[in-house]
Amino acid sequence: MLFRWICGALLLLGVFWVPSAASAQEGLPPRAPLGLVWEVPVLKGELYYSEVSALVETYEARVGTSLVPSKRGKVGIKVNTRSGRGLSTPLQLLRAVIEVLEARGFARDSILIVDYSAYQLRQAGIMPSISSDQGDFEGCPVYALDSEQHYDLDWFYDSPLPPSLNQEPQLFGGLGRGSSALKVGAKERKSFLAAPLLFEVDFWLNLAVGVDDAALGVDGALANATLWNVSNSQRFLGNEATASSAVAEIAAIPELNERMVLHFISLDRYQYIGGPLFKSRYSRSEPLLWMSSDPVAIDRLLCDKINKHRRLDGFPEISPLPRQLPFAASLGLGVFDKSRIRIQRLVLVAPAKNDQSFSEKDEAIPSNGDFELE
């Protein structure tokens, strides 16, 4: 018999409804300490392999285990294509992560690439065109959640907010004018979770991008792991309160959170105003790659980056701090206090694909003022 239970409480917006899992914690890769962010420079002309390999090796050394296949034998990669072709997860970063996982024993057909929109995945060059006979990205299956083929009806985040017509027009059939609050159990209340990341993989990696967003403040690691990882999510973007609470509460769902091991953000291109759609005029580039088990810390650093460029160009800062950061921190998902965030910088010595070495430099982030990356 399938038992259902409600995980967590109704904090500001909704609740999530999931079946229980008795052995959820068995065989899961450990997290690195919260507040720790690794940074590596992306060498000119490199294809990210040396950088990703160095970061993953450093994580493995820190936690004392390797990211190798376990009981399920598969791994997930959550990409971000929401902002369009100019500001999606870099293809070279995706290729490097795939190669690093392949070197650890994962076959390409067991590396699952996940994002919400099939259209945006095609625009980003990750999902083949409709006319193509291929259904994968260089041998790795690509799952578009808006196909509605990758949800489990028993696993969802519940909220009384109505759906967005732009995202879920099929849900408006029973919502006539003057409709009262959505009834408990109605499909319109539900945001279904990405089933492959719950049931098919040993763990999954989050390859986010950095861009500002009117409702979220910052669209980074947290948003990519949550709002762009469920159905019926546009409804949360009506205001900051609903967006931030949905992000934090979805991230806190144990069965989703426990297999979310590492977050990557490339600063090769990020956008500080005008988001979420890509606008090259307001984008900046730094040859840096961040990795952490703490999405809150990464998003805090990203927010500071965005605000720095807003000040330089005379735009108002994102203020106050995006609400999902302290909210997620209060749920134990990370730290947002800059005095508790440490950047550990890796310096690549030899960039050769099969013979790289690196050194480490640990540094705390000042609790006030800007931090400058070397």
Predicted confidence at residue 7, as pLDDT, reads: 37
Predicted confidence at residue 350, as pLDDT, reads: 55
Predicted confidence at residue 223, as pLDDT, reads: 95
Predicted confidence at residue 276, as pLDDT, reads: 87
Predicted confidence at residue 186, as pLDDT, reads: 60
List, in sequence order, every beta strand (DSSP E) within 159-242. 190-192, 203-208, 211-213, 217-219
Predicted confidence at residue 27, as pLDDT, reads: 77
CA angle (153, 157, 160) in 5-degree steps? 110
Write out pLDDT tens, residues 58-67: 999 999 999 9
Phi and psi at 192, nearest 5°, equal -75, 140
Q: Residue 141: is the preceding peptide bond cis (ω within 30°)?
A: no
Between CA 77 and CA 66 the distance in angstroms is 17
Predicted confidence at residue 67, as pLDDT, reads: 97
Predicted confidence at residue 232, as pLDDT, reads: 86
Q: Which domains does the chain have, with CATH numbers?
A: 70-167+183-335 (3.40.50)
Between CA 97 and CA 19 the distance in angstroms is 31
334-338 long-range Cβ contacts below 8 angstroms, 24+ apart: 334/34, 334/35, 334/294, 334/295, 334/296, 334/297, 335/34, 335/35, 335/294, 335/296, 335/297, 336/296, 336/297, 336/299, 336/300, 337/367, 338/300, 338/304, 338/365, 338/366, 338/367, 338/368, 338/371
Asked if 192 and 150 count as a contact pair (C-beta separation under 8 A), the reply is no
Strands 136-137 and 140-144: antiparallel
| pLDDT tens for the chain, residues 1 to 374 | 222 223 333 333 344 333 333 333 467 999 999 999 999 999 877 789 999 999 999 999 999 999 999 999 999 999 999 988 889 999 999 999 999 999 999 999 999 999 999 999 999 999 987 756 567 999 999 999 999 899 998 998 888 775 653 444 444 344 333 333 434 456 778 889 999 999 999 999 999 999 999 999 999 999 999 999 999 888 888 888 889 999 999 999 999 999 999 999 999 999 999 888 999 999 999 999 999 999 999 999 999 999 999 999 999 999 999 999 999 999 999 999 999 999 999 988 754 545 555 566 666 554 444 433 33
